[in-house]
């Protein structure tokens, strides 16, 4: 626990599956993904977060509050509404679908925990963060964000007043600038 979080219970979830080491894979489109691989994304990104949140909620409620932050991704919003004339980027149906489900779970948990002063929010990188997983698929990005900037946003989001900010999906730059505006694709 950091000094700024002393006395405040906070949890961050967001483990995501990664591909096997080796050569760069192609974008795994909808038709080529077996159900077991699709389900694996939900097991890790949604069901693990669900179980972890349920495990910590009794202690947060007993303590009089806390903060849960689920890490999400712009992939939850891709490919967006069609038609799709530019097909250069690719999509990740399992990963993006699980992150969309995690955002909905975040809102449902926030609704149930609001009366207990537990903030539940989803935090998304506002810009790509070149993690090993993203580097696997990376193309050139105009702008990226350093991982420590995202970490600072998570700490700041953990300190919000649950009566003011809960049930939201927020980009990390909107946390750092204090606006806490909903995350949108630019």
Q: Which residues are catalytic?
A: 95
CB atoms within 10 A of CB 104: 13
* Phi and psi angles of residue 28, each rounded to the nearest 5 degrees, phi first: -80, 95
Using DSSP's 3-state secondary structure scheme, residue 128 falls into coil
Report the distance separating Cα 121 and Cα 67, nearest Å. Answer: 8
Which class for 47: exposed (0-12), middle (13-18), buried (19 or more C-beta within 10 A)? middle
Q: For residue 23, what are the CA distances in angstroms to 27, 29, 99, 135? A: 13, 17, 25, 12
Q: CA 133, 120, 94, 125 torsion: positive or negative? A: negative
Nearest-angstrom CA–CA distance, 94 and 75:
10
């Amino acid at each position: 626990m950091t000094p700024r979080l002393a006395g405040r219970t906070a949890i961050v979830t967001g483990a995501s599956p990664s591909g096997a080491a080796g050569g760069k894979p192609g974008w795994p489109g909808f038709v080529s993904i077996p159900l077991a691989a699709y389900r694996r994304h939900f097991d890790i990104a949604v069901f693990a977060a669900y179980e972890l949140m349920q495990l910590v909620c009794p202690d947060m409620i007993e303590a009089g509050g806390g903060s849960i932050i689920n890490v999400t991704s712009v992939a939850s919003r891709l490919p967006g509404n069609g038609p799709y004339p530019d097909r250069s980027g690719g999509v990740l149906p399992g990963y993006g679908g699980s992150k969309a489900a995690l955002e909905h779970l975040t809102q449902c948990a926030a609704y149930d925990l609001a009366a207990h002063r537990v903030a539940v929010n989803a935090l998304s990188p506002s810009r790509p963060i070149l993690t090993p997983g993203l580097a696997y698929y990376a193309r050139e990005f105009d702008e990226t964000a350093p991982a420590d900037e995202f970490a600072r946003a998570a700490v700041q989001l953990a300190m919000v007043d649950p009566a003011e900010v809960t049930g939201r999906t927020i980009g990390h730059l909107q946390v750092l600038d204090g606006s806490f505006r909903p995350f949108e694709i630019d």
